[in-house]
Structure 1
Amino acid sequence: MEEFLSNGVAISYLDFKPLVADKDEPIVLVHGFASTHAVNWLFTQWVKTLTEDGRRVVLFDNRGHGRSQKLYDPAAYGLDAMAGDLDGLMDHLKIERADIMGYSLGARIATVFALERPERVRSLTLGGVGLSLIAPNTLPEGLAEAMEIERIEDIEDPGLKIFRGFAESTRSDLKALAACARGAAGQGIDPAALAHIEAPVLVCVGTRDDVAGDPHPLAKLFRDVRIVDIPGRDHNRAVGDRIYKQAVLDFLAQRP
């Protein structure tokens, strides 16, 4: 991976060229909490799908995740700061405008970016978020403590236990994730603000996703939005689903 500094924070990224010679439309992918660029986008064949469709695909590890710099102060993990890393990466790669796709926490980061830098967003795809996008707390209550507890067996809440198990499977820095959970918590997105997003929006959520919440109420909040249900998929399995991928390809082909 290559690296650049975003306000002094080292961010690791990859930049894939399209496999269709006459097209070069960039899309930037933002992964979720405790995940990495590889887990969300490489292992699930998203990069292959999008480059074969003629897209330039840029992916990176959020601060505190993967190969990017680990920070242990919760104040470093505000959604504004994490959206700033996305902004800085586009500056670094001299990409003026791109399609943006985020999953789970990445979808929240992408939404904040679309609100703060609308001129840089050609379209916005949000995966793994429904009503959770506008919940008062960005991440589940008790998530930081679940990252810090010594043994996963001592976590009583099943949902938090899944998050901790996922974090261990991605070999994450649990201390950095605890700081991220605390820094991003309580930074909910104002529902009224979503109406200010002029770019077309696609929302894709698994029908068994208990983390995301119901996506359909978001249809009344965005100006131009399409909601897609991913049948039979939970929060972790929806990200690589073929229905999700086809919906994104169709969306990108139809957006202005």
Structure 2
Amino acid sequence: MASSYPTQTFSSDGIEIAYIDAGEGEPILLIHGFASNKEMNWVGPGWVEALVRDGRRVIALDNRGHGESEKLYDSAYYPADVMAEDAFRLLDHLALERADVMGYSMGARISAFLSLAHPDRVRSVVFGGLGLGMVKGVGGQEIIASALEAPSLDEVTTPLGRKFRQFADQTKSDRMALAACMRASSNKISEETIATLVPPALVAVGTTDDIAGSAEGLAALIPNAKVLEIPGRDHMLAVGDKVYKEGVRAFLHERP
């Protein structure tokens, strides 16, 4: 998918990370989900355009191993707390003291680690497509990783494996880099740790999402959190939903 927003790159501790930087105003950093990329998660569904139109500066990165960022094949490079430091270094690279942050699915987990490690840099945080799975885990890592490594889709027999293999093929991803990422990036956050989250939070999950876990369950653990239900949407279809967009824009307007 060709983007109307030019891609830039920077070095995050020696790893090349691609990003886009559009619009002017209060900054928001967008962190995409597993096997997706900045174009698929944020540009195509209209997020960047909508937020720029709201008078915001919108930064969206390709996580390591994804999109136009550097591909790595050792799972040691992919724990979510390690990937969160790429986002932190991007804020430094752009000399941004604070930004709102929104992550989807794996990106929500990365956003949580970013918010916990650097609370002074995160003005507010939106966890899209991830509820209590943040704490309980979402499972299926080895099934998904093996599906990504299979020589062809025909050899993938599990519904979960087939879903992620088809998505990775659709996004023309580097499947071996994704397999390494899948084996590492789903590190859980304890209930005690997530309860120390400082920034205002919004937990936005589709009502038919069978991957994310309960939005209410996660929000109940976080001192300053709200829930946004995305009606009739599953994990894949919630991303570009109008209710999701309107709810996030309202949250950003209302947050301190």
- Corresponding residue for 1:12? 18
Return closer, same or farther for 1:222/1:68 CA change in 2, 3 Å cut-off.
Answer: same
CA RMSD of aligned residues (A): 1.2
TM-score, length-normalised on structure 1?
Answer: 0.95
Q: Where do 5+ consecutive residues of structure 2 fail to align?
A: 1-6
Moved more, 212-221 or 161-170: 212-221
- 2:80 corresponds in structure 1 to 79
Q: Which amino acid aligns with 2:110?
A: I
CA contact (8 A) 2:129 2:206 kept: yes
The residue that corresponds to 1:26 in the other structure is 27
Instruction: State the 1:136 CA deviation.
Output: 4.0
Matching residue of 1:188: 188
What SS does the corresponding residue of 2:239 show, helix, strand or coil? helix
Question: 1:21 matched to which residue of 2?
Answer: none
1:1-256 map, 5 Å: 1-18=7-24, 24-136=25-137, 140-185=141-186, 187-256=187-256
TM-score of the superposition, structure 2-length normalised?
0.95
Does the 8 Å contact 2:72/2:177 carry over to 1? yes
Whole-Å Cα distance in 2 between the matches of residues 245 and 125 of structure 1? 11
1:27–1:99 CA contact under 8 A, matched in 2: yes
Unpaired segments of 5 or more residues in structure 1? 19-23
Work out whether residues 203 and 219 of structure 2, in 8 Å CA contact, stay in contact via their aligned partners in 1. Answer: no
Task: Tell me the amino acid that sits aligned with residue 12 of structure 1.
Answer: A
Question: Shift in Å at residue 118 of structure 1?
Answer: 0.4
Give the conservation status (yes or no) of the 8 Å contact 2:144–2:160.
Answer: no
CA distance in 2 between counterparts of 1:136 and 1:3 reads 32
Shift of 1:182: 1.2
Q: Deviations over 1:29-77 (max 9, x none)?
A: 0000000000000000001110111110000100000000000011011
Aligned length: 250
* Structure 1 pair 136–238 and aligned structure 2 pair: CA distance change class (3 A): closer
Please state whether the residue corresponding to 1:196 is helix, strand or coil. coil
Cα distance in structure 1, aligned partners of 2:141 and 2:42: 23
Deviation at 1:140, TM superposition (A): 3.6
The question of whether the paired residues in 1 share the 8 Å contact of 2:80 and 2:113 is answered with yes
Paired with 2:76 and 2:182, the residues of 1 have a C-alpha distance of 10
Decide whether the 8 Å contact of 1:210 with 1:234 is kept in 2.
Answer: yes
Counterpart contact for 1:139–1:184, Cα < 8 Å:
no
Q: What SS does the aligned partner of 1:12 have?
A: strand
Once the two structures are TM-superposed, the CA of residue 17 in structure 1 deviates from its matched residue by 1.4
1:213 and 1:123 map into 2 onto residues whose CA distance is: 21
- Displacement after TM superposition at 1:137 (Å): 5.7
Q: Which secondary structure does the structure 2 equivalent of 1:125 belong to?
A: strand
Q: 1:138 offset after TM fit, Å?
A: 6.9
Report if the CA contact (8 A) 2:138-2:211 is conserved.
Answer: no
- Contact 2:26-2:55 within 8 A present in 1 as well: yes
Per the TM alignment, residue 139 of structure 1 is displaced from its structure 2 partner at its CA by 6.2
CA distance in structure 2 between the partners assigned to 1:191 and 1:167 by the alignment: 31
Query: Equivalents in 2 of 1:25, 1:100: separation in Å?
Result: 11
